[in-house]
């Protein structure tokens, strides 16, 4: 079992997290040796900010459409996936004003 880390745009990430999206269409260059049972770690990426949001989830590959198919663009793989787990966004550290910080006695 191999784990692949991939970007997922917010609209697709939300659909995956909600359970509405149970597939991934990816370039074979991104997943050259993907197999049933492999795990995809999807990291939410916001292209408008050119950054990751901090949210991610795991899905397991349950089926890979055999290629080539007349309806599938050459160089792409269509996979069915099953939800595994959500990895929460990291929480921002709580800011404590400097004037309220305890001072260590020396």
In a structure prediction context, what are the per-residue pLDDT tens digits for the chain, which is 106 residues long?
A: 899 999 999 999 999 999 999 999 999 998 889 999 999 999 999 999 999 999 999 999 999 998 788 888 899 999 999 999 988 765 555 555 555 555 555 5
Q: Tell me what pLDDT residue 96 has.
A: 53
CA nearest to 58, candidates 36, 80, 43:
43
Question: What backbone torsions phi and psi does residue 18 show, to the nearest 5 degrees?
Answer: -75, -15
User: With b meaning 16 or more CB within 10 Å and e meaning fewer, what string describes 58-95?
Assistant: ebbbeeeeeeeeeeeeeebbbbebeeeeeeeeeeeeee
Question: Can you give the pTM of this predicted structure?
Answer: 0.79
């Amino acid at each position: 079992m191999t784990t692949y880390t991939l970007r997922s745009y917010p609209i697709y990430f939300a659909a995956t997290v909600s359970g509405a999206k149970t597939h991934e269409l990816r370039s074979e260059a991104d997943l050259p040796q993907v197999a049933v049972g492999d795990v995809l770690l999807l990291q939410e990426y916001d292209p408008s900010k050119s950054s990751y949001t901090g949210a991610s989830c795991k899905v397991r590959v349950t089926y890979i459409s055999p290629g080539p198919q007349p309806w599938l663009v050459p160089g792409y793989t269509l996979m069915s996936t099953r939800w595994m787990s959500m990895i929460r966004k990291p929480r921002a550290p709580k800011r404590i004003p400097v004037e309220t910080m305890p001072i260590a006695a020396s």
